[in-house]
Amino acid sequence: MAEEAQGDVPEKKKPTLVITIAAIAVLTLLAGGGGWLVGNMLAPPPAEKPAEEVAKAEPAGGAEGEAGQDVPHISTEANGIVLLDPITSNLAYPSDNRVRLEVALMFRGAPDVALAEEIHQDILAYMRTVSLQQVQGPRGFQYLREDLQERVDLRSEGRVTNVMFRTFVIE
């Protein structure tokens, strides 16, 4: 009798490959739909402009170069901002490393180009005394910004309100 009882119990069937693939496909579709829904909720698509507004926004020539000339450049003397020439120098240690930075100065009132050139030379001389260890990491860069701002404040006697870094590269 023990043998008959064992024979009556059906064996557990393992899920077939087709059922597994179907379950994965359904879950993938649900995940994709949920991602699409959340994406549309967070960043709705931009509203389309009517064709008339698009035609008015484009210049008559249609060239991109001409459109770029219509937009005023932010670093102009009329805005009180003077863009200094790029500064390229060796670091003090290790001397085989070079630094290149572009700086813009924001003046209070009318900008003084002669003063800007003096500040340019002062920054160049200062960068030759800086070592790589002094400017490594975000804290070192912040110290460099503060040192340059202090030097510019002393040189300009408060006429320069801000020193803006445009690029800073060490190679």
Is pLDDT above 70 for 10?
Answer: no
At 20-77, the pLDDT tens digits run 999 999 999 999 999 988 888 887 666 666 655 555 555 544 444 444 455 455 556 6
Read off the DSSP letter of residue 49.
Answer: P
User: What's the distance, Cα to Cα, between the start and end of the chain in Å?
Assistant: 87
Closest to 148 (Cα-Cα) out of 117, 115, 122: 122
Q: Which two tokens stand for residue 44?
A: 């709705």
Class of domain 77-170 as given by CATH: alpha beta
Encode burial over 121-134: b for 16+ CB neighbours within 10 A, e otherwise.
Answer: ebbeeebeebeeee
Residue range(s) in the chain whose domain bears CATH number 3.30.479.30: 77-170
Between 40 and 86, the higher pLDDT residue: 86
Q: Long-range contacts for 94-100 (Cβ within 8 Å, ≥24 apart)?
A: 94/131, 94/132, 97/132, 97/170, 97/171, 98/170, 98/171, 99/127, 99/130, 99/135, 99/168, 99/169, 99/170, 100/167, 100/168, 100/169, 100/171
Is pLDDT above 70 for 7?
Answer: no
At 110-146, the pLDDT tens digits run 888 899 999 999 999 999 999 999 999 999 999 999 9
Q: What is the mean pLDDT of residues 147-154?
A: 93
Tracing tokens 């210049």 back to the chain, one arrives at: 59
Is pLDDT above 60 for 163?
Answer: yes
Is pLDDT above 70 for 90?
Answer: yes
Burial class of residue 141, CB neighbours in 10 A (0-12, 13-18, 19+): middle
pLDDT band at 9 (very low <50, low <70, confident <90, very high): low
